[in-house]
Amino acid sequence: MEVYHNLVKNILENGTLRENRTGVDTIAIFGAHYKINLQEGFPILTTKKVYYKSIIRELLWYLSGQTHIRDLRNHTKIWDAWTSEEKNWEIGKMYGYQWVNWEKHSHNLATGECEVTHINQIQNVIELIKNNPESRRMVVTAWNPSVLNEIALPSCHAFFMFNVIGGKLNCHLTQRSGDVALGIPFNIANYAVLTQMIAQETNLEVGELSHYINDAHIYVNHIDGLKEQLKRRPKSLPQLEISDKPFWDLQFEDFTIKNYQHHPAIKFEVAV
């Protein structure tokens, strides 16, 4: 994808060297933004192999609302670096939990009791799209300040929102931080899948994916691999097919990516 390559080039040419909590320096820019036309194909990188099965598994894990990776680890180890067997593979109330189980605390002033209910933000968005597609309140947030000291990693892709124009479903994703070599390719594909799932559920076509990254960075030990990737010629984008099922009934086997042609994988080390 040209927009991804342009992002990499921009950071390599204009980024500032910075220290960070991981101990591996980055070069970074502030406020990267681009759009991807989802009608042109499924936006998975072709200049390196991306493990799309892990992308689907991760998204379905988010939608499950689980606070652990015990089930996810049966299929992919992409989250292993942020927890351990000693911690029972728990990561806390992040991402998917906030998407589908956001806690609402209601206090009864007369009795002093507190009732906790849960908000499924994804389902609320689906209902808005179906019943009020002109709404400007189709927002899902994973950033919950009350749990930041309890979770494995404060949410990088902090919130996203949808927009319906001309019979097409558009999605805007805001990230507080983005690891361009490793995380961003997954984030792009992940939200493209989610947008297509919701579009199918609401009888809309896919439109654009708009992506803003507040701190877009490249770890210094990823520079050589990205330079190699930039030398490669992109191939045609594949197509994503999703079974015609209700949104919450979709399983891994219901997703098929067709004609995914790609260059060889490039190994990047995870900075934790």
In a domain, 46, yes or no: yes
Residue 263 lies in a domain: no
Instruction: Please state the domain count of the chain.
Output: 1
Domain housing 149: 2-258
Residue with tokens 């389902």: 123
In a domain, 272, yes or no: no
Confirm whether 251 is domain-assigned: yes
H or E segment and range at residue 54: helix 52-64
Active site residues: 156
Per-residue pLDDT tens digits of the chain, which is 272 residues long: 899 999 999 999 999 999 999 999 999 999 999 999 999 999 999 999 999 999 999 999 999 999 999 999 999 999 999 999 999 999 999 999 999 999 998 888 777 788 899 999 999 999 999 999 999 999 999 999 999 999 999 999 999 999 999 999 999 999 999 999 999 999 999 999 999 999 999 999 999 999 999 999 999 999 999 999 999 999 999 999 999 999 999 999 999 999 999 999 999 999 88
Task: Provide the angle, in degrees to the nearest 10, between the axes of the packed helices 183-201 and 121-131.
Answer: 50
Which amino acid appears at position 258 of this protein?
K
Q: What is the CATH number of the domain that holds 82?
A: 3.30.572.10
| Predicted model pTM | 0.96
For 142-201, the DSSP string reads ---GGGTTTSSS--SEEEEEEEEETTEEEEEEEEEEEETTTHHHHHHHHHHHHHHHHHHH
As to burial, measured by CB atoms within 10 angstroms (0-12 exposed, 13-18 middle, 19+ buried), residue 199 is buried
Asked whether the beta carbons of 56 and 75 are under 8 A apart, the reply is no
pLDDT at residue number 111? 79
Q: Which two tokens stand for residue 95?
A: 């991402």
